[in-house]
Amino acid sequence: MLPATAAAEKPLAATVLVIGHRGASALRPEHTLASYAKAIADGADVIEPDLVMTKDGVLVARHENEIGSTTDVAVHPQFSARKTSKILDGRAVSGWFTEDFTLAELKTLRARERLPQLRSTLYDGQYPIVTLEEIIDFVELESASCGRVIGIIPEIKHGTHFRTLGLPMEDKLLATLAAHRYTRTAPVEIQSFEVGNLKYLRDKLAGQHGNIRLLQLLGDADQQPGDVVAAGGGLDYAQMMTPDGLRDIAAYADAIGPNARAVIPLGPDGTLAAPTPLVRDAHAARLEVHAYTFRPENHFQPKNLWQGSDPRTFNEAGSMAEIRAYLDAGIDAFFTDHPAIGRKALDRR
């Protein structure tokens, strides 16, 4: 249990939201319609498509533009020569990249489990890469079928990288959202680890209807936003998580998305320590806190919540206990790979 002082913190939002992280990615290959469908069926309020661009300028859902670990591209001999290395956010990455493929080419690939050492590969090879437009159409149908509105929280991945390639994502994303009846009214929250694109979007959205909100994602304290790295700036996420930094974020965003460990860190023994001031400071700046990411395997959980010693063990009780600790710390929403567990932890709280 958390100290009594931490439990007094209350969420800023009226209702805490369960966000299906890349869908129900603990149970189906991430960013597939099957994963989103499972998330919705299991009680997610919101589903998350990470967005990257194709060579011909189409927004598709992949966690990264490098797709070697999440698709079967490596077994397609016609694409073997496209394996390469690139610099992303200041670090070298090798593999196959969406911007080197047309949509038609990507549609020949099939999704694979990103964490085969921890999760089932039963569904590998069954599902194609999907576009943002396909996701919106799908969510609209699922929403009508289940009788409740499902929010969408798209993330712009590596916005500066794509902009330098002549594939800017921000206006394309806004145009796609505006073109669909569902996303003209349903809750939408655009997220990014970068800063400049969120400020640009805030200016573009000024005076428009209010169903689109903005979420500033926050990486590890010693990391920097990709656009800051590209510009040679000094701003890092540690500065952004100070009271002054949070007030700056509040000028252009509605919420922050920190790593959960920035809200409640792990102590030297691998168990949950005392909460940091982050939730309190964010709420003081009128920012909601949407923490990421809660996962059902031992490997991702505090050591004192493990069941047995195998990191692969599916541990529902541990995940529920962890989520409840963060709810007590006052978070307003949370990303989970297993929305059914998240829903249960929230509803039984």
Tokens 């798209």 found at:
154
Read off the pLDDT of residues 316-348 as tens digits, 9 standing for 90 and up. Answer: 999 999 999 999 999 999 999 999 999 999 998
Q: How far apart are CA 144 and CA 334, in angstroms?
A: 24
* pTM (two decimals): 0.96
Read off the pLDDT of residues 192-205 as tens digits, 9 standing for 90 and up. Answer: 999 999 999 999 99
Reported as a pLDDT band with limits 50, 70 and 90, residue 4 is very low
SS (H, E, C) 109-159: CCECCCCCCCCCCCCCCCCCCCEHHHHHHHHHHHHHHHCCCCEECCEECCH
What single DSSP character describes residue 73?
G
Q: How far apart are CA 35 and CA 22, in angstroms?
A: 7
Q: What is the DSSP string of 257-320?
A: EEBHHHHS-B-TTSSB----SHHHHHHHTT-EEEEEEE-SBGGGS-GGG-SSS-TT-B-HHHHH
Read off the pLDDT of residues 224-242 as tens digits, 9 standing for 90 and up. Answer: 999 999 999 999 999 999 9
Task: List beta partners, residue 85.
Answer: 94
Q: How far apart are CA 310 and CA 141, in angstroms?
A: 40
**SS3 of 212, please?**
strand
Reported as a pLDDT band with limits 50, 70 and 90, residue 207 is confident
Counted residue by residue, the chain has a size of 349
The pLDDT score that the predictor gives to residue 209 is 62
Could you name the CATH architecture of 4-64+125-347?
Answer: Alpha-Beta Barrel (3.20)
